[in-house]
């Protein structure tokens, strides 16, 4: 059985009744979490002095916040303390100073907890260094890989929206660039976690057109700053990067919709983001309103009421509080109907998605539930999860959902129309294959991707032999029909989803083969040549054979050093095609280069 008590703390005497009630309880089976809206270091030190005097040798983990949660309500500029008294679960605390190396910090924390083999780890990380937001991904990855059976939860410290400095702490130390954590280990401990995002993609889709690591230089060939200014306006741009948390970029990752916001704005208008984007990846601005949050709250309630829980810890994004304002309780109150809840509003949330994989979220509300029993609590509230929404609120939320559906449906229709126009623009009018314009754009992207990943990239250029004689013999109408037949043959050649065949111009066709080595490209080219031998389209005046043949050139680049360019690779492939034609046609010539 877990006894969980929440306290709105103001002075040391507030602690005495709890100390008196649980004086005989073992300190190693007690967890104290501190969520401090008092964000100055001196204020944190004062809180710790009071706690350690009244609860000596008791594990403590704490953080400064951007808002506190206590008994299903949101608070500001207060200090909320949670006391969790476990029947059999053992608690251990640890703290590390990152010193610029988040991965090492994660490994150090993991070593400190490895012997206890914890079921759960609550981690609070500092979120700001030198005015920049900290990406905790390396810290979390190191922790999760070292403790793959442990559910990791928690979040990034806040400072009431000031964006200057944050603190995390244990009973032993306070740091402004590090992580504090507690492990929970118990034979009867039942741990569950869940999250809801509520932000959804809306409006036009954009493409990442220049990116290096976490730094995005161009989106739809504009700087991120230009894009945000055009679509979101000066109200957002003037307060970047913190203001962008309300309108993150949405994308799909590991089967989940994720919200990714910028950490830093460079002078050239490029942004550093919390996660890396891929070149060519499609993104949309994210959008949220209270109607979406209320719907998500209902779903979270329905999920949690089917799980054993004796206490719940909420680590929620401050963006949710900014959007809902006074109505933020709508997001957190339902969980209080199931168990005692406490937590804080963070600058980023930690969530274990699968074993050995902990993600650094933004915009989410995460919930960690604990119980020392498998029994599921039954309450009268379980059957009526929406009882906390008054009728007037329900009407407003319904209006917001309808408005959102109207905007999203309109945007989807526009997107489909644009897709059809794009398909028409990228298709060759005669053969139906992709055209030269599409090839130029796609090959430039694939070339940059191959350069970054060092994967081989191959081109196959195909020329129909003696096609001018074919036109002279059979006429241009028959010649057009012949090119359509050639396109049909190329279209039916077995190929992977990422392979692309285009009409390059006249009687020339070209394949882009990403991640394909020289041998693979040669095998495919020889198959193409043999297929034309098999179908034997009559060509009575050809000087090669009495049927239509093709000559093929291949060029593979394997390392793509800085001397190689996309234009040079095409030129080298064209040289191999010329060699095949000069060598008698109806043959394959190829080469590979670094």
The residues that are catalytic are 507
Q: How far is CA 127 from CA 265, 274, 313, 348, in A?
A: 16, 12, 20, 8
Q: Single out the residue of 569, 566, 575 nearest to residue 593, CA to CA.
A: 569
Helices (H), 290-435: 290-304, 318-324, 329-336, 391-426
Strand partners, 350: 154, 360
Strand partners, 263: none
What's the rounded Cα separation, in Å, for the pair 144 and 153? Answer: 11
> Contact at 8 Å (CB) between 79 and 38?
yes
Helices and strands in the chain: count of H runs, count of E runs: 15, 33
What's the rounded Cα separation, in Å, for the pair 535 and 95? Answer: 72
Q: By three-state DSSP, how is residue 100 classified?
A: coil
Q: What is the DSSP string of 563-592?
A: T--HHHHHHHHHHHHHHHHHTTSSSEEEEE
Strand partners, 82: 6, 33
Residue 220 — left, alpha, or beta (φ > 0 → left; ψ -120 to 50 → alpha)?
A: left
> Contact at 8 Å (CB) between 72 and 331?
no
Positive or negative, the CA dihedral 488, 490, 495, 498 is: negative
Bridge-based pairing state of the strands 120-125 and 178-185: antiparallel
Q: How far is CA 201 from the centre of its chain?
A: 13
Q: What is the DSSP string of 500-567?
A: EEEEEETTEEEEEEET--HHHHHHHHHHHHHHHHHH--B-TT-SS-SB--EEEEEEEESS--TT--HH
Structure tokens at 387: 């009882």
> Contact at 8 Å (CB) between 215 and 272?
yes
Find the angle CA(18)-CA(22)-CA(28) to the nearest 5 degrees: 115
Residue recorded with tokens 């590390």: 96
- What letter would DSSP give residue 143? H
Neighbours of 8 (CB within 10 A): 14
């Amino acid at each position: 059985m877990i006894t969980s008590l929440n306290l709105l703390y103001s002075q040391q005497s507030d602690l005495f009744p709890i100390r008196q009630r649980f004086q005989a309880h073992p300190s190693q089976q007690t967890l104290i979490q501190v969520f401090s809206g008092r964000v100055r270091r001196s204020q944190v030190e004062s809180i710790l002095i009071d706690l350690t005097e009244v609860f000596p040798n008791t594990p403590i983990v704490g953080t400064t916040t951007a808002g506190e949660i206590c008994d299903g309500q949101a608070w500001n500029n207060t200090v909320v303390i949670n006391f969790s008294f476990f029947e059999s679960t053992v608690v251990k605390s640890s703290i590390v100073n990152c010193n610029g190396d988040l991965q090492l910090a994660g490994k150090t924390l993991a070593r400190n907890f490895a012997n206890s083999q914890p079921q759960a780890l609550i981690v609070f990380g500092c979120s700001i260094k030198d005015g920049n937001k900290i990406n905790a991904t390396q810290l979390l990855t190191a922790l999760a890989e070292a403790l793959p059976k442990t559910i990791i939860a928690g979040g990034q410290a806040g400072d009431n929206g000031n964006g200057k400095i944050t603190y995390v702490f244990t009973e032993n130390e306070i740091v402004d660039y590090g992580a504090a954590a507690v492990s929970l280990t118990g034979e009867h401990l039942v741990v569950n976690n869940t999250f809801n995002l509520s932000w959804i993609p809306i409006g036009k889709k954009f493409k990442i057109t220049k990116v290096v690591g976490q730094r995005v230089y161009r989106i739809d060939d504009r700087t991120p700053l230009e894009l945000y200014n055009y679509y979101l306006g000066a109200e957002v741009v003037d307060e970047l990067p913190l203001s962008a948390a309300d309108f993150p970029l949405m994308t799909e990752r590991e089967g989940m919709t994720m919200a990714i916001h910028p950490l830093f704005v460079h002078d050239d208008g490029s942004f550093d983001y919390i996660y890396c984007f891929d070149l060519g990846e499609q993104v949309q601005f994210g959008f949220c309103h209270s109607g979406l949050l209320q719907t998500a709250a209902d779903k979270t309630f329905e999920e949690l009421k089917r799980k054993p829980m004796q206490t719940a810890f909420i680590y929620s994004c401050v963006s949710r509080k900014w959007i809902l304002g006074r109505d933020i309780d709508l997001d957190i109150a339902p969980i209080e109907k199931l168990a005692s809840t406490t937590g804080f509003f963070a600058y980023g949330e930690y969530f274990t998605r699968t074993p050995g994989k902990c993600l650094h979220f933004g915009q989410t509300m995460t919930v960690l539930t604990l119980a020392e029993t498998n029994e599921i609590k039954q309450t009268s509230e379980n059957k009526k999860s929406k009882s906390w929404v008054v009728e007037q609120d329900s009407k407003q939320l319904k209006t917001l959902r309808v408005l959102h559906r109207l905007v999203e449906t309109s945007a989807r229709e526009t997107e489909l129309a644009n897709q059809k126009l794009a398909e028409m623009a990228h298709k060759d009018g005669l053969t139906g294959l992709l055209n030269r314009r599409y090839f130029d754009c796609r090959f430039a992207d694939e070339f940059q991707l191959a350069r970054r990943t060092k994967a081989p990239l191959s081109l196959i250029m195909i020329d129909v032999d003696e096609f001018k004689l074919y036109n002279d013999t059979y006429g241009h109408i028959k010649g057009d029909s012949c090119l359509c037949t050639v396109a049909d043959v190329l279209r039916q050649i077995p190929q992977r989803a990422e392979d692309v065949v285009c009409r390059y111009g006249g009687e020339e066709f070209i394949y882009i083969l990403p991640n394909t080595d020289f041998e693979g490209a040669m095998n495919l080219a020889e198959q193409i040549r043999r297929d034309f031998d098999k179908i034997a389209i009559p060509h009575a005046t050809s000087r090669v054979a009495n049927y239509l043949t093709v000559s093929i050139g291949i060029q593979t680049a394997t390392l793509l050093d800085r001397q190689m360019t996309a234009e040079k690779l095409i030129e080298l492939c064209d040289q191999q095609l010329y060699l095949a034609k000069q060598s008698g046609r109806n043959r394959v010539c190829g080469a590979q280069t670094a």
